């Protein structure tokens, strides 16, 4: 039992956004649609058995610590790389970020070594590394690379700087985890379905929308589709500015309804009520008043006196 009322959704485009109060049924709705499309609703990431259209379900999950690659024995390192590739859990991927980045750096370094031996396994590793790098560029606007330390060991870099997982923000680590999980399913991402449950957690709204927009434009292909459940008004505003109000659906008490023609209801659901809306308007009004005061103060600055000799010289020069 899902606790959801029967619903028939129409007017669906490449982006579908579900908004509404906590407990209204947004996550359950995503899970039901994903299951109907062929995904396993218990997995954070699962490929569909349909070879023509993959299914990807991402919801927020993170590990409190990131395992340091330098502290692992070679066998432990290899085990973590294997486990991270097989997992459908963002938490496990998050914990293995340093290991995954270091492994990718070693692959990139080996590819440039004049004596490296090519093989089917190594070619597959290079494909994974290239896909991971493309998604890092798409989601974080950063270049994945490597440098060699004094012993000749390859260490990962981002935009030419040494990669240190513990110095990244949680949002950056979330996006890196997305990049890895999605890169593992790269062949099935074209024209696939992507389900995102509250992706704005630990992400700035602008960065979150840039990531989603990039996935739509550059990763999923012209027939790909994103289903998104969110509480973020800035994220909804950015999405509607680009895709129109028809992408909105309101979820409350287990009922999903088209909301493209009832934006007031959507705004009320996102802000929580009239009091919250008035607080937002008051806050924005303060910013407007501050701008007016700054402009007025600049206009009222006393003019600087001009010396009589300088004024006469300027007058004579104008007639020269």
What does the pLDDT average to over 232-249? Answer: 92
Confidence of residue 180 (pLDDT cuts 50, 70, 90): confident
What does the pLDDT average to over 212-218? Answer: 87
Confidence of residue 17 (pLDDT cuts 50, 70, 90): very high
223 close to 193: Cβ distance less than 8 angstroms: no
CA Rg value for the chain: 26
Q: Which residue has the higher pLDDT, 175 or 291?
A: 175
What does the pLDDT average to over 11-26? Answer: 90
Confidence of residue 94 (pLDDT cuts 50, 70, 90): confident
Q: Which residue has the higher pLDDT, 88 or 267?
A: 267
How high is the pLDDT of residue 116? 67
Q: Dihedral, CA atoms, 259, 260, 263, 268, nearest 10 degrees?
A: 30
Q: Which long-range contacts (CB under 8 A, 24 or more apart) does 216-220 make?
A: 216/14, 216/15, 218/138, 219/135, 219/138, 219/182, 219/189, 219/190, 220/189, 220/190, 220/191, 220/192, 220/194
| CA 11 to chain CA mean position, Å | 25
Confidence of residue 317 (pLDDT cuts 50, 70, 90): low
How does 134-172 read in b/e, with b if 16+ C-beta sit within 10 Å?
bbbebbbebebbbeeeeeeebbbbbeeeebebeebeebb
How high is the pLDDT of residue 158? 94
Confidence of residue 43 (pLDDT cuts 50, 70, 90): very low
Q: Dihedral, CA atoms, 221, 225, 231, 232, nearest 10 degrees?
A: 30
The pLDDT > 90 percentage for the chain reads 24
How high is the pLDDT of residue 214? 85
Give yes or no for residue 268 having a pLDDT over 80. Answer: no
How high is the pLDDT of residue 104? 94
C-alpha pair distances (Å), 138 with each of 46, 91, 210, 269, 277 = 21, 21, 9, 31, 34
The pLDDT > 70 percentage for the chain reads 76
Select the highest-mean-pLDDT range: 9-13, 81-85, 211-215: 211-215
How high is the pLDDT of residue 236? 92
205 close to 232: Cβ distance less than 8 angstroms: yes
Confidence of residue 2 (pLDDT cuts 50, 70, 90): low
Q: Which residue has the tokens 């070619």?
A: 123
pTM of the model: 0.72
Give yes or no for residue 262 having a pLDDT over 80. Answer: yes
How high is the pLDDT of residue 220? 84
* Cross-strand bridge partners of residue 252: 255
How high is the pLDDT of residue 65? 59
Q: Which residue has the higher pLDDT, 300 or 170?
A: 170
For strand 193-197 and strand 161-162, is the pairing parallel, antiparallel, or unpaired? unpaired
How high is the pLDDT of residue 295? 66
How high is the pLDDT of residue 47? 36
Which tens digit of pLDDT belongs to each residue from 101-150?
A: 999 999 999 988 767 667 888 888 898 899 899 889 988 889 999 999 99
What does the pLDDT average to over 209-221? Answer: 86
How high is the pLDDT of residue 44? 37
Confidence of residue 171 (pLDDT cuts 50, 70, 90): confident
């Amino acid at each position: 039992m899902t606790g959801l009322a029967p619903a028939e959704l129409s007017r669906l485009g490449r982006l579908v956004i579900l908004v509404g109060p906590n407990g209204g049924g947004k996550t359950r709705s995503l899970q039901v649609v994903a299951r109907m499309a062929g995904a396993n609703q218990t997995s954070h990431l699962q490929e569909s058995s349909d070879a023509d259209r993959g299914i990807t379900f991402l919801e927020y999950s993170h590990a409190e610590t990131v395992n340091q690659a330098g502290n692992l024995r070679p066998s432990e390192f290899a085990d973590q790389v294997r486990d991270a590739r097989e997992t459908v859990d963002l938490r496990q991927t998050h914990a293995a970020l340093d290991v995954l980045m270091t492994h990718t750096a070693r692959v990139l370094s080996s590819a440039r070594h004049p004596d490296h031996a090519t093989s089917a396994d190594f070619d597959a590793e290079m494909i994974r590394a290239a896909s991971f790098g493309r998604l890092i560029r798409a989601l974080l606007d950063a270049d994945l690379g490597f440098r060699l330390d004094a012993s000749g060991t390859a260490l990962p870099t981002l935009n030419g700087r040494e990669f240190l997982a513990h110095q990244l923000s949680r949002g950056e680590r979330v996006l890196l985890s997305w990049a890895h999980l999605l890169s593992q399913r790269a062949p099935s991402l074209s024209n696939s379905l992507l389900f995102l449950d509250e992706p704005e957690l630990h992400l700035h709204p602008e960065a979150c929308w840039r990531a989603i927009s990039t996935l739509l434009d550059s990763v999923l292909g012209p027939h790909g589709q994103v289903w998104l459940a969110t509480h973020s008004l800035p994220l909804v505003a950015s999405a509607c500015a680009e895709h129109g109000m028809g992408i909105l659906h309101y979820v409350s008490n287990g009922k999903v309804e088209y909301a493209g023609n009832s934006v007031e209801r959507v705004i009320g659901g996102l802000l929580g009520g009239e009091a919250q809306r008035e607080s937002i308007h008051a806050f924005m009004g303060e910013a407007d008043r501050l701008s007016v005061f700054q402009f007025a103060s600049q206009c009222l600055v006393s003019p600087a006196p001009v010396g009589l000799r300088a004024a006469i010289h300027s007058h004579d020069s104008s007639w020269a």
